Structure 1
Amino acid sequence: MGTHTVRAAVTLGAAALLSAGLATASAAPAAQSSATPEHAKPPRPVLVDCFWKPQARPDAFILACGDANSRLASLHWSAWNARSAVARGVNFVNDCKPYCAAGTFHSYPVIVRLDRPEPWKKNPQMKHFTRMSLVFTGARPDGAPRVVTYPLWN
C-alpha cells in the first residue's frame, strides 16, 4: 500500500469518527435552563359553554342553553386569573311576551363575574369557573334583582 493510499484511509477514518462524534453531540438532549421554574403555573380556569367547549375570555356566552333566551354579548374582560374573571358586556334577555317564540329581546348592561374554580369533570386536569354573577348597571329585566348569581354546569 502506498503512502498516498494510507494517508487517504487515515483521513477518511478520522473524518468518519469526527462526524459520528458531532452527530452524537447534536442528538444529545439540551441541558435544562436554570431559568425554568421548578413547577410551572397551572393553567387558568376556563368557562365551559353550552357545547361543552372550554373558553377563555369569550366575547359572547349563552346563559339559557335550551332556547338562548338569555345571552351575553360584547364581553370585554378586564381580569382573568386563577381565582376569578371580570368583564363588562350586555345581557340580551327575551321578555317571552306573549310567549318566548314571539317575544322581544331587550339589552341590559352588566358586569360579569366568574369565580369558584373547580376541576372540570370532563377534564379533571383543567379547572373551570362554577359560578357566574351578573350585576345590572342600569335597567334590568322585570322582577330581576340588581345582582343575579348562577351556578355553572360541570
Structure 2
Amino acid sequence: MRGTVVGTAVTLSAGALLTAAMTTATASPPTAATTPPRTAVAQPVLVDCVWQRTVRPIDFLLACGDGNSRLTGLHWEQWSPTKATAVGVNVVNDCKPYCAAGRFHSYPVTVRLDGTKPWKKHPGVQRYTLMTLTYSDSRPDGFKQVMSYPLWD
C-alpha cells in the first residue's frame, strides 16, 4: 500500500510540474522575430436589397420585389475605393403577356459602381451608392443604352 501512495504522489507531482512548464511556455511574451499581422485595407461593399454586403459578387439581384432582373456571371476588372467595373449579363423577364408568363432574356452589360459613402447600417463600412449598366448590343424594351440605379443604404 505504501508503494501505491508513493507512486500516486510521484505521478501527481510530475503532472503539476508539466502543467506549470506548459503554462509558463505559453504565457511567455513573443520574441523579437514575431511580426505583427498585416491589417487589410477595407474595401467598399455592394449592399443588396436584403441588406447583405458583398465584395465582387458573381450574381446580383436588381429587381428585388419580383426577381425579374438580375446580373449574372459578373467578372470584376476593378474594385477600388472610388469605383468598380465588371462585365456580365443582365437577365430580364419580358413580362409578356404578364410577368408570371413572361420569358427571361440575356443582355451583355458592363457594370460600373460609383459614389462611395458610409453605410447607415454600419457607418465604418464604405458602400457604393450608384450602379450604371451599359448595354453593349441589344437591351430590354424600354431601357436606354445606359441605365443608372441608386443602390440600397
User: What is the TM-score normalised by the length of structure 2?
Assistant: 0.76
* 1:84-104 per-position Cα deviation (integer Å, ceiling 9, x unaligned): 111100001111111111111
**Equivalent-residue separation in structure 2 for 1:26 and 1:121 (angstroms):** 42
What is the percentage of aligned positions where both structures have the same residue? Answer: 54
5 Å matches for 1:3-42? 27-30=27-30, 42=41
**Counterpart code for 1:120:** W
RMSD: 2.4
**Equivalent-residue separation in structure 2 for 1:87 and 1:72 (angstroms):** 11
| Residue correspondences, number | 135
- Whether 1:111 aligns to 2:123 is no
**Equivalent-residue separation in structure 1 for 2:113 and 2:78 (angstroms):** 10
Aligned to 1:121: 120
* 1:23-62 per-position Cα deviation (integer Å, ceiling 9, x unaligned): 768635447878888xx56400011122211111111000
Aligned to 1:147: 146
User: What is the TM-score normalised by the length of structure 1?
Assistant: 0.76
**Counterpart code for 2:59:** A
- Shift >4 Å, 4+ stretches: 23-26, 31-37
Query: Cα distance 1:35–1:28, how it changes in 2: closer, same or farther (>3 A)?
Result: closer
Instruction: Identify the range of structure 1 (127-136 vs 137-146) with the bigger mean alpha-carbon deviation.
Output: 137-146
**Equivalent-residue separation in structure 1 for 2:40 and 2:115 (angstroms):** 18
**Equivalent-residue separation in structure 2 for 1:44 and 1:136 (angstroms):** 27
Unaligned 5+ segments in structure 1 are: 1-15
* 1:123-150 per-position Cα deviation (integer Å, ceiling 9, x unaligned): 1111111100000011111121111000
Cα distance, 1:121 vs. partner? Answer: 1.1
Describe the SS at the equivalent of 1:101. Answer: helix
Describe the SS at the equivalent of 2:100. Answer: helix
Aligned to 1:59: 58
